[in-house]
Amino acid sequence: MIEIVLRILIYGAVLSGIWALTASGFSLIFGIARILNFAHGTFFVLSAYLSILLIKNLGFNIFISYAVSVILVGLVGVVIYKIMMAPIREHEVMVIIVTLAFALLVGEVLLLIFGEHGISVPSFARGFVEIAGVPITWKRISVFIAAIVVIILLEYFINRTRTGKMISAASQNLEAAMIVGMDVERLFVITMFISAALAAFGGLLYAQVFAASPIFAFKSLIFAFAIVILGGLGSVRGSIIASFIVGYILTITINTLGARWGEFMVLVTIIGILIVRPTGLFGVEE
């Protein structure tokens, strides 16, 4: 019994850390530009495929290949923003449709190139350690630590640096930010880069422990939805806290009922929150 509880505690923490990265990226770009980026899950799986290409075909060291693929996916995010989102940003319906179409396009191409089977990427660390009789791999521990480090860096960036403060100011009131002379377009581009890079890093961590597949792009997007709705649309801190709640709900569901109930529980969670507290834990009334 203790073994199961401990396993759920640790596995849940690992999963939650990964979702915290992904969901806060999704939340960042929504918060500032009101863009619901349905291609966010695509960035999540794209980095795993990119790093596999770099390691296997070009013989990169794993750390270098991870860094390169995170930066590349961040740049892809910026390019997608420039080509597909910026020209139609005023037209919310079209932004959703175009990003969804892009996500499905990339998913289909990945499916044609790599097939439907998931891929895993090499992990940071090998071996395992026993905690109270439960063997926990160093892989999971290193993934969790990496996720926490990035979350702390993100919090530091948003709350302590000038650019970060500008991003959160523009998220609170875009017009006022423009009036005081902020280059809002530049902030959008920076935020888009960070948002995509966070998803990319989340995806790399996920693919170390589990496996990334083209279909998973859409599923990861849906978990990110649940988290941002629970945390409140546009609130990064809310997303981080909510990802631990959703991460544990998912881990408990998967360990007790089975993996196929995962999405169903997520939907029940979303509907439940929308009935009880529509603005989420930390969302602002609009």
Chain residues binding other proteins by CB under 8 A are 30, 36, 38, 83-84, 87-88, 91-94, 96-98, 100-102, 104-105, 108-109, 112-113, 218-219, 221-222, 225-226, 229, 233, 260-261, 263-264, 266-267, 270-271, 274-275, 278, 286
Q: Which is nearer to other proteins, 66 or 225 (CB)?
A: 225
Q: Which is nearer to other proteins, 100 or 134 (CB)?
A: 100
Contact 284, 232 (CB under 8 A): yes
> 33-47: b or e for each residue (b if 16 or more CB lie within 10 Å)?
bebbbbbbbbbbbbb
Contact 29, 234 (CB under 8 A): no
Q: Measured from the CB of residue 282, what is the shortest distance to other proteins in angstroms? A: 15
Task: Please report, as a single letter, which amino acid is at residue 95.
Answer: V
Q: Which is nearer to other proteins, 4 or 79 (CB)?
A: 79
Q: Measured from the CB of residue 281, what is the shortest distance to other proteins in angstroms? A: 15
Q: Which is nearer to other proteins, 16 or 27 (CB)?
A: 27
Q: Which is nearer to other proteins, 5 or 111 (CB)?
A: 111
Distance CA 77, CA 110 (A): 17
Q: Which is nearer to other proteins, 102 or 201 (CB)?
A: 102
Task: Please report, as a single letter, which amino acid is at residue 137.
Answer: T
Q: Which is nearer to other proteins, 97 or 152 (CB)?
A: 97
Smallest Cα–Cα separation from 123: which of 106, 104, 110, 138? 138
Q: Measured from the CB of residue 134, what is the shortest distance to other proteins in angstroms? A: 30
Q: Measured from the CB of residue 279, what is the shortest distance to other proteins in angstroms? A: 8
Q: Measured from the CB of residue 273, what is the shortest distance to other proteins in angstroms? A: 10
Q: Measured from the CB of residue 97, what is the shortest distance to other proteins in angstroms? A: 6
Q: Measured from the CB of residue 268, what is the shortest distance to other proteins in angstroms? A: 9
Distance CA 19, CA 13 (A): 10
